[in-house]
């Protein structure tokens, strides 16, 4: 197993850049702080605007706009919305590399046969196929009694999925506990068989409805649920880290902990904090796209590193493939937008290699582009609402994220000399358009079978 490191990828939901104490929050998150200190903590980790697109980026290394998954599916849309079975996921990659693979928790990349985790490379799955807010639907007094109620599902590779429990306000508080238990069991089973494993752990916190596990009601003095949910996230991560220590697997396991997008204001209370970055999720401001992330691999990845280098959710796919010695399995018949950052992660390169990031809206059109420490906004949304319309600029805004992290000062208003930044930041958009002409975007829900 020495030549095949285990991988545990913990992806949390709607946790903001400023929600962890190692990022300056008042919420105590001791286990995550320790994890960050034992590896690399990223301060410029960039995701997509919503859950489904970020999970696409992680699973495929491809921009969600290419995959037809650039926004979350709306209630009532056809059930085949999600990743095309043609996509080659991280589950496929590790499975083909000889790993045991499991996905526990929130998938949000398809809810019908052919598009669930066990159809996309995973040996087993337990969790929800869509979003956590479904837990509250059936409790509403106006919810039609003849409508189906949301379910927790389970499956093994090669078999149809089963609905194993109700997903409602009674089961919602215990989701992350059960996800953790199943992850730990998976780790123990494969350690006993001396088989390398890849565990993709999709925690459901901190996403509405914010219902607190009974064990964490007194975890903080806050009257709000979100800090208690964060305390549970910290504890659950610690449980998984503890079993790696117990089984003497820590040195042989790459651990990633990251959030899928920034925080929001969906429940009347602020779910969390974007730190000093502006905006809620769904918009084009940094508070939506810039999230906490960290990686640990003892004696391989340097400890105690805090970096401002630009990294993206897209980059985990090729990076983990190369760290695990599976780089030859990354597909070459399609655009892979993620960058291999394995040399940077291992301390063999001073930079990540990425100097830009493109912000694509939930309408599949560009919102903004980041180039080094400059950011160009073609459009923007009102930061107070994730449902607000995009407002198109007559002239793109140019902002300096070092001197203006709150994105309040448009340099184009007073200094036309910065117009050249628009060209520099927009160059990747030109390259994307050229690539899309050769490899057209997959339509949402399409039964895509490959490029000619």
Let me know whether 150 and 89 are in one domain.
yes
- Amino acid 383: pLDDT: 65
pLDDT in tens, 380-406: 887 666 778 889 989 999 999 999 999
Q: The domain containing residue 429 runs over which residues?
A: 356-438
Let me know whether 115 and 175 are in one domain.
yes
Let me know whether 336 and 368 are in one domain.
no
Which residues does 287 contact at the CB level (< 8 Å), separation at least 6? 16, 17, 262, 263, 274, 275, 277, 278, 279, 280, 281, 383
371 lies in some domain: yes
CATH no. for residue 130? 3.40.720.10
Task: Please write down the HEC assignment for all residues of 32-80.
Answer: HHHHHHCCEEEEEEECCCCHHHHHHHHHHCCCHHHHCCCCCCCCCCCCC
pLDDT in tens, 287-338: 989 999 999 999 999 999 999 999 999 999 999 999 999 999 999 999 999 9
Let me know whether 298 and 362 are in one domain.
no
pLDDT in tens, 14-35: 999 999 999 999 889 999 999 9
How much is the CA Rg of the chain, to the nearest whole Å?
21
- Of the residues 289, 320, 345, the one at which a domain ends: 345
pLDDT in tens, 366-376: 999 999 999 99
State how many domains the chain has.
Answer: 2
Q: Which of 16, 12, 48, 13 is nearest to 279 (CA)?
A: 16
Residue 79 has pLDDT above 60, yes or no: no
Q: What is the mean pLDDT of residues 262-271?
A: 66
Let me know whether 124 and 224 are in one domain.
yes
Mean pLDDT of the chain: 93
Let me know whether 298 and 391 are in one domain.
no
- Amino acid 441: pLDDT: 97
Let me know whether 324 and 365 are in one domain.
no
pLDDT in tens, 223-240: 888 899 999 999 999 999
Q: What is the mean pLDDT of residues 187-206?
A: 97
CATH no. for residue 362? 3.30.1120.10
Q: Looking at the DSSP assignment, which residues form a beta bridge with residue 450?
A: none
- Amino acid 1: pLDDT: 41
């Amino acid at each position: 197993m020495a030549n095949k490191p285990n991988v545990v990828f913990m992806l949390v939901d709607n946790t903001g850049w400023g929600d962890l104490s190692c990022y300056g929050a008042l919420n105590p998150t001791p286990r995550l702080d320790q994890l960050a200190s034992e590896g690399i903590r990223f301060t410029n980790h960039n995701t997509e605007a919503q859950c489904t697109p970020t999970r696409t980026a992680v699973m495929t290394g491809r921009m969600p706009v290419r995959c037809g998954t650039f926004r979350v599916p709306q209630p009532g849309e056809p059930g085949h919305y999600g990743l095309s079975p043609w996509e080659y996921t991280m589950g496929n990659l590790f499975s083909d590399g000889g790993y045991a693979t499991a996905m526990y928790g929130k998938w949000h990349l398809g809810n019908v046969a052919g598009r669930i985790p066990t159809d996309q490379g995973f040996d087993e799955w337990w969790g929800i196929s869509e979003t956590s807010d479904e837990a509250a639907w059936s409790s509403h007094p106006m919810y039609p009694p003849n409508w189906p109620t949301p379910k927790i599902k389970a499956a093994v590779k090669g078999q149809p999925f089963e609905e194993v429990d109700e997903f409602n306000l009674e089961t919602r508080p215990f989701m992350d506990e059960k996800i953790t238990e199943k992850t730990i069991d998976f780790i123990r089973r494969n350690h006993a068989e001396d088989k390398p494993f890849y565990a993709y752990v999709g925690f459901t916190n901190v996403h509405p409805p914010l219902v607190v596990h009974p064990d964490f009601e007194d975890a903080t003095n806050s009257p709000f649920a979100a800090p208690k949910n964060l305390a549970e996230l910290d504890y659950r991560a610690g449980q998984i880290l503890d079993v790696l220590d117990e089984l003497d697997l820590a040195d042989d396991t790459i651990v990633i902990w990251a959030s899928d997008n920034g925080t929001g204001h969906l429940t009347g209370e602020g779910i969390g904090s974007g730190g000093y970055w502006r905006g809620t999720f769904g918009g084009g401001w940094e508070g939506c796209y810039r999230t906490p992330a960290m990686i640990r691999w003892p004696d391989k990845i340097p400890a105690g590193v805090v970096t401002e280098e630009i990294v993206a959710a897209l980059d985990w796919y090729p990076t983990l493939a190369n760290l695990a010695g599976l780089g030859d399995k990354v597909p070459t018949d399609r655009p892979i937008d993620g960058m291999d950052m394995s040399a940077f992660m291992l301390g063999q390169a001073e930079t990540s290699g990425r100097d830009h990031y493109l912000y694509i809206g939930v309408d599949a059109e560009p919102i903004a582009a980041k180039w080094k420490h400059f950011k160009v906004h073609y459009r923007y949304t009102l930061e107070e609402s994730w449902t607000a319309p995009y407002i198109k600029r007559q002239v793109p805004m140019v902002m300096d994220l070092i001197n203006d992290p709150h994105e309040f000062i448009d340099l184009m208003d007073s200094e036309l000399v910065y117009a050249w930044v628009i060209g520099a930041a927009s160059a990747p958009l030109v390259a994307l358009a050229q690539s899309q002409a050769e490899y057209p975007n997959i339509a949402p829900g399409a039964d895509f079978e490959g490029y000619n």
